[in-house]
Structure formats: C-alpha cells, structure tokens
Amino acid sequence: MTTPTVVISLDLELSWGTFDLAYDADVVKMARWTHDVGAPRLLNHLTSNRLSATWAVVGAMMRSSLPDVSGLPEVNYPHFSKPWFSYVPKQGNEETHPEWFGASLVEMIRKAEPEQEIGFHSFSHAPFGLRAMTRERAVAEYRYCAKVARELGIAPASFVFPRNLVAYLRELRDAGFDCFRDVDETPLRCTNRTLTSIAMVWADFIGLWPRMIEPSLKEGLVSIPGSLMIRYAAGWRKYIPDASRLRRLTKGLERVRRSGGVFHVWFHPENLYAQWPRLENVVARFLQELGNLVRNGEVKCLTMGQLAKEFRSQLAVEDVCDSKLENTPSPRKRDSRQDFGAQVTKQADLVPLRLTPILASSISQKPGGAT
Ligand SMILES: [Zn+2]
C-alpha cells in the first residue's frame, strides 16, 4: 500500500470545457475571471502552503493564439454538430480573448515555487469515449499535445480525459505519456453514470467519507483514479453547505493519514467562480490543513507524475524481489502488482444509496459548470 499521499489534479480549460454544451456571456465571464483572478489565486493558495498540484491544461489554450489545427480530423458529435473550432476566434489572442487562451497563465504556473506539474487535458477538449470520437482524431489530439509540449519544453507525463471519459489508452502510451486520471472510485455504488452522479451529490450533502485509491497499470500507463471531485457551486449545488464540503475533504485527510493509500482530489479552477468566494474559502481551508500535515511529515503531497514515477520504481523493486524468490524453494511467490494495487477501502465502506423521489428529481437537473 502507498504511504499516506495526497494528489491534487486541476482541469484548467477556460471556455474549452463547456462551449459544446453551452456558450454564452456567462461562460465568457467565468472563463475571463478564471484567467485573471481564479487560477492565479488558486496557485497562490497552493504555493503559500508549499504544495504542488497537477494542472491538466487544454493544449490549445497553452499558446497565445490558435495554432494551425488543419491536421486534426473533424469530429461530429450528436450534441454539437458544428465544426469543433467554430467558436474559437481565429484571429484572436490572449490579450483580446483571455477566455480562450492562457499562455501567460501556463508560464505563471511553470515559474511557481514549489514546482507545479503541467499535464494535458487533451488538445481541444473533444470528449473521448463517445461513439463519435475516432481513433484518428484521438491520435491526432495526442500528437498535438506532444507538439505543444515540445514547443514549450514540457515533458508530457500526465493526461486527464475531458469529462473523465477514458479511451485510447494504448495510443496515449505510444504518444509518450506516463499516467492518466482514471474514473473516480466512489463510496456509493449505483447501476449507471447518472445515478452515480446523483449519489455523489448526496455524498457531498451528508459529508460522506471519501475512498482512498491505489495506482495500478493499465495498457502500460499508470492509472490514478480520483477519490473526490469538488463540485461546482452553481444552481441547486449552491445549497450544498460549505461545512459539508469541507467535512468530506478533512475526512479524506484523516483517512489517508491513518490508513495510507492515496487521497486524490480534483476540480476545475473555473468552478471557483460561482458563488465566489465560498468555494475558494473551502479549498483554501483544505489546502491549509493539508499544508500543516505535510509540514509535520504525516502525509506527502505529490503530483500525478511524481506518484506514477514512485509507483513504477516500487514495481521495479518488487520485480527484483520476485525474481529472487523464484530461485528460493519455499516461500510462495506473491503477485506484487495486485498487492500494490489492492484497494484500501474495504467492501464494508461501500454504502448502498436510497434517495427519496423528490430529492432524486431535484438533483438530477441539468448539469452545469466546467467539465
Ligand atoms: Zn474538462
């Protein structure tokens, strides 16, 4: 089992995260706020507590204007029938359209101390894992990410799929990435994605204990599932009490400190905008508490890339031990990968969920916020 570790991954996307679902003045306002205020403030909360995070940034916004995208095969989703780059200002740049471009933000994050990791949140935020996504487009997205990484001098290691729809892993590995954020391991078991989403909102309301995760290998990549997403506070979600949100986060810290494993928290800097500064205050309190634990040596705070590296070197050590065991007659050889990847949370932690019809209908309304 991994020694007590906290990982924070952030999906930084400005307008790229929502334009295919909704694109209006509010989205532009949220994205501009994130560019000018939200992301710099969040970075400051991290650095002032001496913490590092993985910033998974949409590749196309890492430059100050849109690069040549003619090498990306078109993708046609039923929910967005226009050409994918329709809304992106072709002649615009970061100065005129900070809701789309964030080269200076990336620069600011790269210069921060302690060091932050720049990961990729795809190149154009086209969702993978949907029927319309082709292998050709997926490979081209990876290729474009690798190209931006080369131009900026970033070693591409960590990848976060748009909307956490995981697909084309082998191709991701072939593009040179090392790890990805896998789907959340949730404490509530439901039969489908919508029910799981409803269950997770309920978990926020009641401040349920989050699950700890363990990395594992998938298609040669290190899979790092999420433990808890800090949910957008717009619409009906503003009724989730701040105290309940903070309680879940501090319970996660308590569990990882006592039981070990990895507490993987993730969210969108964009989502700090609604009801500001409520959610920022929750995040600031959480980071302060985490910073204290790290200073006391009770937990580590690693980026996704650092955790993947640590996991691989642990596997290499265990491989050496296993090969030595093979040459000895008695002890039973253990499957070290399975052992390392064993779930920290026992079955007893899984809570079956029952919702009243009224609550279920009130929380299954239109999703909002950056994804
Ligand atoms: Zn996203």
Report whether pLDDT(119) > 50: yes
pLDDT in tens, 200-236: 777 777 888 899 999 999 999 999 999 999 988 888 8
68 within domain boundaries: yes
Question: What pLDDT was estimated at residue 206?
Answer: 80
Specify if 371 maps to a domain.
no
162 alpha carbon – ligand 1 mean position (Å): 4
Distance 218 CA to ligand 1 centre (A): 22
| 289 C-alpha to ligand 1 centroid (Å) | 27
**Model pLDDT, residue 192:** 77
Does position 91 have pLDDT exceeding 50, yes or no?
yes
Q: How far is the CA of 370 from the centre of ligand 1 (A)?
A: 6
**What confidence tier does 69 reach under pLDDT thresholds 50, 70, 90?**
very high
Distance of CA 320 from the midpoint of ligand 1 (Å): 39
**Residue 370 lies inside a defined structural domain of this protein:** no
Computed over every residue of the chain, the mean pLDDT equals 88
pLDDT exceeds cutoff 70 at 346: no
**Cα–ligand 1 centroid distance for 300 (angstroms):** 26
77 domain residue, yes or no:
yes
Query: pLDDT exceeding 90 applies to what percent of the chain?
Result: 75
In a domain, 302, yes or no: yes
Statement: residue 290 has pLDDT above 90: yes
Query: Cβ(99)–Cβ(35) under 8 Å?
Result: yes
Task: Look at 187 and 360; give whichever has higher pLDDT.
Answer: 187
* pLDDT per residue as tens digits for the range 296-314: 999 999 999 999 999 999 9
Please give the angle made by the CA atoms of 350, 354 and 355, to the nearest 5 degrees.
135
Domain that holds residue 48: 5-363
The contacts of residue 287 (CB under 8 Å, 6+ apart) are: 45, 46, 49, 51
The whole-number pLDDT of residue 181 equals 98
State how beta strands 262-267 and 221-225 pair.
unpaired
Number of domains in the chain: 1
Average pLDDT rounded to a whole number, residues 15-23: 97
- Cα 357 to ligand 1 centroid, rounded to whole Å: 30
Ligand 1 centroid from CA 261, angstroms? 26
Distance (Å) from CA 161 to ligand 1 centroid: 7
Burial 278-296 (b: 16+ CB within 10 A, else e): bbbebbbbbbebbbebbee
Return the CATH number at 276: 3.20.20.370
Ligand 1 centre from 234 Cα, in Å?
A: 17
Residue 368 lies in a domain: no
Name the residue with higher pLDDT: 207 or 346.
207
Q: What is the DSSP string of 280-328?
A: HHHHHHHHHHHHHHHHTTS-EEE-HHHHHHHHHHHHHHHHHHHHHHHTS
pTM of the model: 0.86
CA of 124 to the centre of ligand 1 (A): 10
* CA–centroid distance, residue 121 to ligand 1 (Å): 7
Going from the Cα of 341 to the center of ligand 1, the distance in angstroms, rounded, reads 27
> What integer is the mean pLDDT of 320-326?
73
Tell how far the Cα of 337 is from the centroid of ligand 1, in angstroms. Answer: 30
pLDDT tier at 328, thresholds 50, 70, 90 = low
Note the pLDDT tens digit of each residue in 143-168.
Answer: 999 999 999 999 999 999 999 999 99
Q: What is the DSSP letter of 349?
A: G
Percent of the chain with pLDDT over 70: 86
Q: Are 8 and 160 in contact (CB under 8 A)?
A: no
Tell me the pLDDT band of 189, cut-offs 50, 70 and 90: low
Token pair, residue 41, equals 């403030």
Give the DSSP H/E element, type plus range, for residue 54. strand 54-57
In a domain, 71, yes or no: yes
CA 34 / ligand 1 centre spacing (Å): 14
Tell me if 115 is assigned to some domain. yes
Does residue 75 surpass a pLDDT of 90?
A: yes
- In the predicted structure, residue 68 carries a pLDDT above the cut 80: yes
Identify whether the C-beta of residue 184 lies closer than 8 Å to the C-beta of residue 227: yes
Count the Cβ atoms, other than its own, within 10 Å of residue 343: 16
- pLDDT confidence bin for 349, thresholds 50/70/90: very low
pLDDT tens digits for range 251-289:
999 999 999 999 999 999 999 999 999 999 999 999 999
Query: Ligand 1 centre and the CA of 183: distance in Å?
Result: 13
Tell me how far the alpha carbon of residue 157 lies from the centroid of ligand 1, in angstroms.
18
